[in-house]
Amino acid sequence: AQKVTQAQTEISVVEKEDVTLDCVYETRDTTYYLFWYKQPPSGELVFLIRRNSFDEQNEISGRYSWNFQKSTSSFNFTITASQVVDSAVYFCALSEATQGGSEKLVFGKGTKLTVNP
């Protein structure tokens, strides 16, 4: 079965510091999708990025960047020049095909990021 590991339970940084959130996954599928979601204190799940297993290009979106490495089964997320508004729980997730034909997401335990002013 698929598994997602986010070893960092909590991270605390000072504003403007860079921070990297680690994600390691396990899957037997050759085709799979990886995701990052942000969950602010208000509770909603905010989609950040989706990556398929054939696309190992790193991606940058503003202050966010993602490093996908199949060789190490990692999909790390970096926030540069962090801001207080980045404070949230961040979840890494992996898609898993189900017997019924749909797909479900398997989430890591999440990393709680606190950015202090």
Q: Are 48 and 64 in contact (CB under 8 A)?
A: yes
Binding site for other proteins (CB under 8 A): 33, 37, 43-45, 47, 50, 52, 91, 95, 98-110
* Nearest-approach distance from CB 4 to other proteins, in angstroms: 9
Closer residue to other proteins in complex, CB, 102/117: 102
* Nearest-approach distance from CB 62 to other proteins, in angstroms: 21
* Nearest-approach distance from CB 109 to other proteins, in angstroms: 5
Residues in CB range of 115: below 8 A, 6 or more apart:
12, 13, 14, 15, 17, 19, 82, 83, 84, 85, 86, 87
Structure tokens at 19: 């921070």
Closer residue to other proteins in complex, CB, 56/103: 103
